[in-house]
Amino acid sequence: MGRKKHGYGGGRRGRLAGRACCVEPSADFSDDIISISSLREGERAVVVGFSGQMGPYRRKLLSMGFIPGTEILLKRRAPLGDPVEIQVRGFNVSLRKEEANVLLLRRTA
């Protein structure tokens, strides 16, 4: 399970498109910020913010309730490894790993 490098700058530091910082409470970009790709099946994480720019995909995730502070659970990967199924706010959504790397997460114990 190596970490893949994606165009979105998965996890480390997204392009903030010249905007104000997007990450919640004074989070420093420490190593505990991860992306969906590095979650294992059955692991939980909390959304801490988004990398990348505003746009339809981000609005869609936000409208479904992926907002900072929301806990998500990676339920399973598809048989071919991608997409993944995520549980958020009591319902299940499937996302492609590469696209969903705009979500910045922190593992919860």
Partner 1 sequence: MREFVIGLVGTPNTGKTSVFNALTDRTEFVGNWPGVTIERKDGIKDAVYDGEDIRLKIIDLPGIYAIGSSLTEERVAFEFVLKEKVDLVLTVIDGLSIEKSMFLTMQLIQQGLPMHIVITKKDLLGINGIDINVNHFSSLLKLPVSLVDTRDKKDAKLLVEAVSRSCFERPVSSLSIKYDSRLEYWLSEKEKEFAHIELSSDVKRTLFLLLFQGDEEFFSLYPLEIAKRKKLQEEIDRISRDIGKEPDIYVAETLYSYIDDIMHRVKKGKETLTITERIDNIVLHKVWGLPIFWGVLFLMFWLTTSFGGVFIDFFDSIAGLFAVELPVAFLSSLSAPGFLQTFIMAIGSGIQTVATFIPIIYILFFLLTILEDFGYMARAAFVADRSLRSLGLSGKAFVPLLLGFGCTVSSVLATKTLETKKEKIISIFMAPLMSCGARLPVYVLFASMLFPRNAGLVVFSLYFVGIILAVGTGFLLKSTLFKGKISPLVMELPPYHLPKLNYVLKVTWIRFSSYIKRAGIAITTAVFILTLLNTIVINKDGIKLEPESPDSILIKTGQAISPVFRPMGIEKDNWPAVAGLFTGLFAKETIIGTLQSMYASEDTSAQTVGDVAEDNPLSLAYIGKSLLESFKQLGRDILSLIFSVEDESLENSGALTRVKNLFTPQSAYAYLLFVLIYSPCIATIAAISTQMGKTIAAATAIYLTLLAWILATLFYQLATMESPLWLATTLALILFLIGGLFMAGRRRPVMEE
Nearest approach, Cβ of 101 to partner 1 (angstroms)? 11
Site for partner 1 in 81-100 (CB under 8 A): 81-83, 85, 89-96, 99
Q: 8 is written with which tokens?
A: 């979105």
Q: 77 is written with which tokens?
A: 């990967």
Q: Which of 72, 21, 28 is CA-nearest to residue 50? A: 21
Site for partner 1 in 43-62 (CB under 8 A): 49-50, 54-62
Site for partner 1 in 5-34 (CB under 8 A): 19-22
Q: What gap in Å lies between CA 23 and CA 43, rounded to an integer? A: 22
Grouping H, G, I as helix, E, B as strand and the rest as coil, residue 53 is coil
Residue numbers at the binding site for partner 1 (CB under 8 A) = 19-22, 49-50, 54-65, 67-68, 76, 78-83, 85, 89-96, 99
